[in-house]
Structure 1
């Protein structure tokens, strides 16, 4: 088994781990700082809206020997507006100028024909009105709203409303960061950007749903045991799916990085840049938020439930009592969220605690905590009151 595979198995068994839940305030602070930076960048610099939203003209020329720098100067002098030029595969150019009406378009076309030594009838001019861009923006916002509503409804039914709320917060976090990066970098917002933003919504939720599913299974029957708090079980669920989340994210980011740095950088600005930047930032932010935002937030919300809070008090009281008696097996997992961080000690791999733990013999609390391993025939309290240790 590879080192990464061995690490994944040890994380799943709870032998090693990182205290994600216990250090959640640190990650909350990091996320707030990143989000504030994105919002400030969005407010100060604003978004560089493409002609699909602001209106303008796109001129497409046939093959020409004139350099892009020369063509850019000609177009700027003729229009009086910033110009975006992309070289085409056939040797031609795509010249994009914002805020240009029909009369101005004809004038620019004539100037380009003269400066580039190309007949005017061979230069194709496409005008885009701002109303069309407004329609696209409205439909995009509508699609985003419908998507989020469906996500909340589905997660509330499949899991619970606390997980639905946490996933929604993580989703808004990812979109805000992606849009803020666009503002800071200065990339043009085009239809490709909208496509990329809508695409990352599903990717953003993928890792979150994987962790939530593991947490749902691990916390089943949690109130029938006194060994682990909900936060500790949530922490084990994150660690158990950590390597899987890293693998899927890296595999998804590699081709997107190829589009962004090779396709956009080598082939020039255009639709590739617009889509790939939003995908790249969104995928990375989605992987981050599923681990550091969504699941810790679920743990915070669940710990506010009276029965979960009572369970926490019972677990801590049991550990305090065991520590006072000097029982090394009494502190099953440590403090808030550090069960996985401490590793699976002798008490983490024992069998169940008898009829009062809500599990079959051999399941034990480790199953509830998302830790697998062979049951020990010498589990404490197994078959309490019955020499055979079996249920009747």
Structure 2
């Protein structure tokens, strides 16, 4: 069995090659199914937004005896507001946070009293905060603006750096693919989207952009050598570039998800590390999706967008003709 280093060497020299470009119709079909499926998931399993987006009331009870019984908090809230929707999270070993729909001042005082009695702590140990819908709207608007600015700058910078808008289009479609599928995974498994998760989304888009740029840079290097000298068609040069960077992409992804997975695990077992969990979860899921998108979507799509250009078609025709003349299989 070949080692990873030997495989990397064979991929770089072209001795071993996976048909990323040659089978792009299959990859595009799979990508379309994933994207459409991810877009449809929220219709059946609505996306869960945190209180920062939806607004509501939040109570924190400190000095709680261990082990923390979360059902006491739920019962306390429902005893005051029977129709309330609650979310209870344990913080550390001696505190609990309760999030619920917006309640009136009178109801908040009653809930604070009920929580204090349920956990047998002084009422002073129960803190209350109200997050209004206007603040949640501001968070949503800021997040969308951040995403729009990121995508716009990405398009412009890539177009200037690679001197072709088609690389920008391929990269942006790849990034949108990453974002849609990641959000679809969140909706499918009922993960909550919080401001920390949004930061994670932007982080994984940056990672996906980095990975795509590395592959595209190798594509540019290979395609500059196209023609009779290299003996490769444009599509073959793109495919070679993806294969040459494949091991690097895999290694980078593994290196990224291992510590992120460890942080996610710590956040899950260390009750109350909600921000840590939200951030690491989005990065963990998105990093895996980003690696897939670069290899199977962005690079093959760029090849598709460029292959019908007349200079490239003419050059590819000469390459194929030279092979036939030399008796080399096409």
Q: Does the alignment reach a TM-score above 0.5?
A: yes
Distance 1:30 1:265 in 2: 35
- Contact persistence 1:42–1:179 (CA under 8 A): no
- Displacement of 1:188 in angstroms is 1.6
SS in 2 for 1:267: coil
Q: Partner residue of 1:358?
A: none
- Contact persistence 2:156–2:168 (CA under 8 A): yes
Distance 2:47 2:103 in 1: 19
- Displacement of 1:24 in angstroms is 0.7
**Structure 1: runs of 5+ lacking an equivalent:** 335-392
Distance 1:107 1:129 in 2: 20
Q: Partner residue of 1:376?
A: none
- Displacement of 1:262 in angstroms is 3.7
Distance 1:146 1:224 in 2: 42
Q: Partner residue of 1:278?
A: 282
Q: Partner residue of 2:188?
A: 184
Deviations 1:347-381 (A, max 9, x none): xxxxxxxxxxxxxxxxxxxxxxxxxxxxxxxxxxx
- Contact persistence 2:45–2:188 (CA under 8 A): yes
**Structure 2: runs of 5+ lacking an equivalent:** none
Larger radius of gyration: 1
SS in 2 for 1:21: coil
More helix by share: 2
Q: Partner residue of 1:204?
A: 208
- Contact persistence 1:64–1:116 (CA under 8 A): yes
The alpha-carbon distance between structure 1 residues 317 and 225, as it changes in their structure 2 partners (threshold 3 A), is same
Q: Partner residue of 2:25?
A: 25
Distance 2:230 2:250 in 1: 32
- Displacement of 1:224 in angstroms is 5.6
Distance 2:13 2:46 in 1: 47
The alpha-carbon distance between structure 1 residues 223 and 13, as it changes in their structure 2 partners (threshold 3 A), is closer
Distance 1:199 1:156 in 2: 21
Alignment of 1:70-85 (within 5 A): 70-79=72-81, 80-85=83-88
Alignment of 1:1-392 (within 5 A): 3-65=3-65, 67-79=69-81, 80-159=83-162, 160-223=164-227, 225=229, 227-267=231-271, 270-322=274-326, 327=327, 330-331=328-329, 334=330
Distance 2:142 2:150 in 1: 12
- Contact persistence 1:226–1:311 (CA under 8 A): no
Distance 2:193 2:105 in 1: 23
Q: Partner residue of 1:357?
A: none
- Per mean C-alpha deviation after superposition, the further-off stretch among 90-99 and 292-301 is 90-99
CA RMSD of aligned residues (A): 1.8
Deviations 1:196-222 (A, max 9, x none): 111111111111111101111111142
How many residues matched?
A: 325
